[in-house]
Copies of this chain bind each other. A is one copy, B any other.
Amino acid sequence: MSKELTITQQKILDFIIEKRATGKIPTLAEIAGHFGYRNRSTVRQHLQALERKGYIKRNPNVSRGIELLTEDKFFVPRPVLGEVAAGNPLTIYPDAIDTIELPTIARMPKDSFLLKVKGDSLKDAYIFTGDVVIVNPNTQPRNGQIVVAVLDDAAVVKRFYKKRNRIELHSENPEYEPIVIEKNYSGFKLVGVVIGVYRSMERKVG
């Protein structure tokens, strides 16, 4: 079907896929800049090759008009910043602990990030070990939303409830007691709101 790609072509294709996942298809100039090319014609020729080999479709005279056609390439490695315990707190890691293959459909909103869930206290909310939660920081949670928070240098995923002078973090699983944080307690920091759960099907194949 589709022919083999050269190393350069593959790199350019990967770059386009990666950029697309973060939001925007790059322009020829942006691709050229990334690879240090001094003009766009070089990029254009590689794109022509990619199109001829069936990996992309170019929309003539349309800015950022590259369409990706290779379904197998629709997965992008994305860093997972840490594991997050739905049950007992676990230490959060400063750097990426893992990389998952996230489909490009799951584009990350600005500043949002991924955490892999470990533990079972959210099983009643149908979140399981291995699922990836998409966390949106810089958003004020509403009562009842599932949030990620750092409590004494450990991360937790709980339902958020703001009361008068304290914040309560509830587990779905009744085995776990609600965590109560008094207002102004310095060991507590809200990380963000869980806006979605994604589970790739690719992992379970084979």
Contact = CB atoms under 8 A, between A and B. Distances in A.
A174 interface: no
A71 B139 contact: yes
A16 interface: no
A105 B103 contact: no
B109 A204 contact: no
Interface residues of A, number: 48
A92 interface: no
How many copies of this chain sit in the oligomeric assembly? 2
Contacts of A23: 20, 25
A103 B109 contact: yes
A104 interface: yes
A126 B128 contact: yes
- Main SS at interface, chain A: loop
A80 to B, nearest CB: 15
Nearest to A194: B201
B196 A103 contact: yes
Given A105-B112, A196-B103, A204 B71 contact: no
A40 interface: no
A196 B104 CA distance: 11
A199 interface: yes
A149 B64 CA distance: 34
Contact of A106 (B72, B143, B144, B196): B196
